[in-house]
Amino acid sequence: MTVETEVSTAQAALAALPESWVSPEFSATILDRASLQAVHRMVSSRVATATEAVAAATAALAVDPSDATISDLVATQATLTALSDVQAILPPITIDASACAQAVALAGHAMASAAPPAPIVLHYSDEMAQWRNASRISSRVAVDAPIATDADRAALASWTDADEQVRQWRDGASMWRSPNTSDVLSTLGAAQSYIDRAAAVADAVEDADKVTSEANAARAAAGLNWSAS
């Protein structure tokens, strides 16, 4: 038995989601909807074909008003009428909003748990920000600007990259919304993508934290902390 495209697409989308998100009720409503979408599509296609056939038979009758063309028009019109009746009584395409809301809530919690941490503070950058703020407040700053060490400069690129990745992840995740139920599979797929991306961002943050910690320690050991000046 051939599986309709709508059903196979829904099955693949469900299989790609974490099992904990896919309750039996959610799976059932998604697959039931897909099956009904396939039926609606097939009936609509047959109605369109029958409509074209009626138009062609009508045109043929106008040119050749014979028993054959009359019979052809009657037959095609009867087919169109029957299909239109079928189309009118098909149940509407619906979905279990409660089951969808539960799946989305689980995905939202998973996204929140997966959110990558911000990189630890690079003391040099933080001290520069403090110094600039003090400079804006008073034209007479008591101490010179913080001095960057080689370790600070080496850590800055890694820290900046990690910080930007975290910012982009959070900005994107903040736009994730509870879906219109008609597009719930896409919404859940997006949540899974954010979770997968979060792991990579967390790795970048971990790498940045290592060099940042080393730079901070070297700065403190050299007595270069601006806040202690």
Q: Tokens 């994730």, residue?
A: 176
pLDDT at 141 over 60: no
Same domain, yes or no: 20 and 62: yes
Share of the chain above pLDDT 90, in %: 78
Same domain, yes or no: 77 and 103: no
Distance CA 156, CA 126 (A): 11
Same domain, yes or no: 126 and 176: yes
Distance CA 98, CA 60 (A): 53
Same domain, yes or no: 103 and 209: yes
Distance CA 30, CA 184 (A): 9
pLDDT at 142 over 90: no
**Lowest-pLDDT choice from 22-31, 62-71, 157-166, 218-227:** 218-227
Q: pLDDT tens digit string along 3-17?
A: 789 999 999 999 999
Contacts of 50 (CB under 8 A, 6+ apart): 76, 79, 80, 83
* End residue of a domain, out of 89, 108, 134: 89
Same domain, yes or no: 75 and 102: no
Q: Tokens 């309709």, residue?
A: 4
Q: Where are the alpha helices (DSSP H) in the chain?
A: 5-15, 24-63, 67-89, 97-114, 123-137, 150-174, 184-221
Same domain, yes or no: 109 and 212: yes
pTM listed for this prediction:
0.78
Q: pLDDT tens digit string along 14-33?
A: 999 999 999 999 999 999 99
212 in Cβ contact with 120 (< 8 Å): yes
Nearest residue to 116 (alpha-carbon basis) of 184, 40, 199: 199
Distance CA 69, CA 61 (A): 5
* End residue of a domain, out of 89, 118, 138: 89
Q: pLDDT tens digit string along 110-132?
A: 999 999 999 999 999 999 888 88
Domain containing residue 145: 97-228
* End residue of a domain, out of 60, 89, 118: 89
Same domain, yes or no: 176 and 212: yes
Same domain, yes or no: 19 and 119: no
Distance CA 54, CA 77 (A): 6
Same domain, yes or no: 48 and 137: no
Same domain, yes or no: 151 and 50: no
Centre a 10 Å sphere on the Cβ of residue 213 and count the other Cβ atoms it contains.
13
When the pLDDT of each residue in the chain is averaged and rounded to a whole number, the result is: 91
Q: pLDDT tens digit string along 35-56?
A: 999 999 999 999 999 999 999 9
Measured at the CA of 173, the angle between CA 168 and CA 176, to 5 degrees, comes to 140
Same domain, yes or no: 126 and 224: yes
Q: How many domains does the chain have?
A: 2
Same domain, yes or no: 159 and 181: yes
Q: pLDDT tens digit string along 64-84?
A: 999 999 999 999 999 999 999
